[in-house]
Amino acid sequence: MKRVLVIMLIAICVYAIYFDFTIGTLPKAEEQESDTTHSDLKYAFVTVEPGDTVLSIIEEIGGFPSSMSIEEMINDFVDLNGILPEQIQPGVTYKIPIYNMEDS
């Protein structure tokens, strides 16, 4: 009986390590915080698919305004989500800024 329990414990540990390396740990619960820096900035919640980048998502949902630089769009993403664009993961939902193309 002890051998079965030890084997099950080892199997669970191996699976946990495999899961952590392939999928990653679960994201922390998102804290609600007031967004005072970009109160006029519109955004959409978008779940990232494999191969997506922040700029490709912005282009899909609204396009690039001609009056705004890529650095400004990246900074807006960082301000909304608190992470760098290189840190996005497939399957996770992020706030993506939407730019009104009529204002550009």
Long-range contacts of 52-55 (CB under 8 A, 24+ apart): 52/88, 52/90, 53/85, 53/88, 54/85, 54/88, 54/96, 55/85
Query: Over the chain, what is the mean pLDDT?
Result: 82
Q: Determine whether 57 is exposed, middle or buried from the number of CB atoms within 10 Å of its CB (0-12, 13-18, 19+).
A: buried
pLDDT at 35: 44
Q: Structure pTM? A: 0.58
pLDDT at 66: 80
User: Tens of pLDDT along 6-53?
Assistant: 999 999 989 888 888 777 665 554 444 444 455 578 888 999 999 999
Domain spans, the chain: 42-103
Residue 101 DSSP SS3:
helix
Please name the CATH architecture into which domain 42-103 falls.
Roll (3.10)
Cα 53 to chain centroid, rounded: 10
User: Tens of pLDDT along 71-82?
Assistant: 999 999 999 999
